[in-house]
Chain A
């Protein structure tokens, strides 16, 4: 799954560690999320969407088949 997490995080001036602390997850999770190698659970996706103030579908885009 592709996502715009890295851009949105940088726009807000957050470091990966700061975002990880905000969400209560590891920094490695943020790294994997931004690389698109880790698809978050639905609760985590909602938390991210709430944090960036946007709908989930704006944050995550399914890979084309």
Chain B
């Protein structure tokens, strides 16, 4: 049986080498990003089409590339990737951190909703925050929370 050469970025599930994997991930990511950016730009003012296309295209490029890489890579061909992830201590930390973030979000969103509804009635407060920024803020908060919890677990059990 021939030993499959491992690399830091891995190889494709379909058998392609690392270079093909990276070309497809970044190339496909760019194409998908430009496609979405074109849709967004077309929906906006015509004079800002190019600026919107470039801004959204650049912003979406790496996330789409990362998504494609995750879908295409065979993690068994990645150097340093443990075979039995679920037996590794990092997996336990991650599970614990995820559960903690879920609890934090429940408390934050529940308490926030309760407080805001009381304030709205009590002092006629109406908040007009852009929803997309609120959601993005929550995502960032959840990610920071996850990172802190992972570090705490590592400090305690590492």
Contacts and interface: CB of A to CB of B under 8 A. Distances in A.
B157 A25 contact: no
Measured as residues with beta carbon below 8 angstroms from the partner, the interface class of chain B is: 10 to 19
Measured as residues with beta carbon below 8 angstroms from the partner, the interface class of chain A is: 10 to 19
B84 A28 contact: no
A24 B83 contact: yes
B87 A28 contact: no
Interface string A26-64: 101101110001101101100100000000000000000
A40 B88 CA distance: 9
Contacts of B84: 23-25, 44
Interface of B: 82-84, 86-90, 92, 156-158
Interface of A: 20, 23-26, 28-29, 31-33, 37-38, 40-41, 43-44, 47
Closest 9 CB pairs of A and B: A24-B83, A24-B84, A37-B157, A29-B89, A26-B88, A44-B87, A25-B88, A32-B89, A29-B88
